[in-house]
Chain A
């Protein structure tokens, strides 16, 4: 088991934001964290990355997260935060190169392997042509893909991504999900926070549905995205169907106390 998290609870400013959530991810799996705004998805992901103090246990490749030093942790997991943060207008390539920092000793210059990882990450995300462009001249979608290339360049066995498709057009949403899928298929585990139920059902092996910091459902997409769970967690009703053997759900209308099932 690549990632095992047991009874994770996180309190922020005295308020319990994540409450006893457990999750497991094997190599080759893409797992989505779903749930309405404020459900605790981002906090849970940050806790898994060791960025928030939490109760419970997280093990990566059998080793306790708490026992890893900074450097080992940085090589074991790559974390893509929400939003597109770059405080200085570095070029795309310089930003992607930052992903190699965990692999370099303090004054050690990068080796051929580092350059290769950077090139490959930029190729896969389709930003190789943007390499010399300053970050502030890129479009929202281009920025998202450059920052995704940065986490891919870490080449960590565990990839934690917070809403990587949030600002992308449909073409690039599909591209990013395929990338995450390929990254997992190459032997990694990917945990991804997202809001798009269609993409989640189509590309993920397992889903976790959260509400108010607690787990509502966990498992295969068609089971987690049942009408009952969607009503319970998101307060919506969805159209559902099947195409080429895959289930899909399309959020259709809000559920208020008066409305019945669609």
Chain B
């Protein structure tokens, strides 16, 4: 019984330890492995030996990238797990509410109008504004009538509108340089990010995580359907507000600093669900860790695959994600509603 009710259920501790160990390994690899040298021990030795050039590379270039990757991955995994629980739909993911598309629109508009050159914070700031605008619309709808289906449909509408307006901005791009800037940003990347990006995103993410993690028990109750959950004392409006708001904060902030990175939020909960007895509350923490691990691994791959131009992270997650998703679909078919 304690499972539903503690931060980490005792029977999930081994899973959590395993995931944490994996994360530490990936983070260390992210810091110590790169095109400079594939041998982490050599890098470590030289770093400890006090090589100043290497210290700059590791601490000022790789560290922000690794930290941001972990934060963004955890955000996507956690909000995917919470949304799938709320909507009781295993196909739900952060993108489904249109939050990431709206954040993308905000960022593209910042680039389009040249605000991004004016100040460092303009682009992520506009992306956050986009995410919040979408969330406000969804929240108003959720308070009125919020069957999971109408929320999903509203998300599809928001997302379509944001994508259409983004395309419009690309269409009317003032010059080829601006166009390529906007397109590359939309593809999603952790390249050339600094600790200022971490500082911008982290506070929003932290609040969002708290909101999402607090929903565990209520998501469990929703397993029995909305009426039964309400009869168990779950306030559905408040629960929806927390999950949607938490998703907006985490995914909005994530998109604001990295662009769109798909499929992590969809796949992470699926990977973990069989390990935790399909219980929505127990999927939350492991999904956050798994999302972080997935993104860290994908970013490592992006950095190490020798291409003449670095692959974009969002492209890689999508390329790896789609076949995996199809495989999952075939396997979990019987549990689909």
A residues near B (Cβ < 8 Å) are 46, 49-51, 70-71, 73-75, 77-81, 85-91, 93-95, 97-102, 104, 106-110, 114-115, 118, 134, 136, 147, 150, 154
CB within 8 Å for A90 and B279 given contacts A70-B235, A101-B217: yes
Q: How far is the CA of A107 from the CA of B9 in the complex (A)?
A: 12
- Residue in A86, A93, A107, A136 whose CB lies within 8 Å of B5: A107
Residues in A with CB closer than 8 Å to B335 are 88-89, 136
A74, B223: Cβ atoms closer than 8 Å: no
Residues in B with CB closer than 8 Å to A90 are 223, 277-279
Apart from A70-B234, A80-B228, A101-B232, what are 4 other A-B pairs with CB-CB below 8 Å?
A70-B233, A86-B223, A97-B4, A101-B221
| Shortest 10 CB-CB contacts between residues of A and residues of B | A74-B233, A79-B231, A85-B225, A87-B88, A88-B278, A110-B1, A70-B233, A97-B1, A81-B227, A101-B232
Residues in B with CB closer than 8 Å to A74 are 231-233
User: What are 12 A-B contacts defined by CB distance under 8 Å?
Assistant: A50-B231, A74-B232, A79-B227, A81-B228, A85-B224, A88-B88, A88-B279, A89-B278, A101-B232, A108-B5, A109-B6, A134-B278
Residues in B with CB closer than 8 Å to A80 are 228
CB within 8 Å for A98 and B220 given contacts A49-B231, A77-B231: yes
Q: B216: shortest Cβ distance to chain A, in Å?
A: 10
Q: B37: shortest Cβ distance to chain A, in Å?
A: 46
A87, B5: Cβ atoms closer than 8 Å: no
B1, A88: Cβ atoms closer than 8 Å: no
Quick check: is B304 within 8 A (CB to CB) of the other chain? no
Q: Max chain B CB contacts within 10 Å: which of A79, A115, A118?
A: A79
Residues in A with CB closer than 8 Å to B235 are 70
Quick check: is B214 within 8 A (CB to CB) of the other chain? yes
A88, B5: Cβ atoms closer than 8 Å: no
Q: How far is the CA of A110 from the CA of B231 in the complex (A)?
A: 19
CB within 8 Å for A98 and B4 given contacts A90-B277, A106-B217: yes
How many interface residues does chain B have, given as a range? 20 to 34
B residues near A (Cβ < 8 Å) are 1-7, 88, 214, 217, 220-225, 227-228, 230-235, 273, 277-280, 334-335, 337
Q: How far is the CA of A50 from the CA of B230 in the complex (A)?
A: 9
B230, A51: Cβ atoms closer than 8 Å: yes
Residues in B with CB closer than 8 Å to A109 are 2, 5-6
Q: How far is the CA of A98 from the CA of B312 in the complex (A)?
A: 44
Q: How far is the CA of A106 from the CA of B6 in the complex (A)?
A: 9
B223, A71: Cβ atoms closer than 8 Å: no
A106, B214: Cβ atoms closer than 8 Å: yes
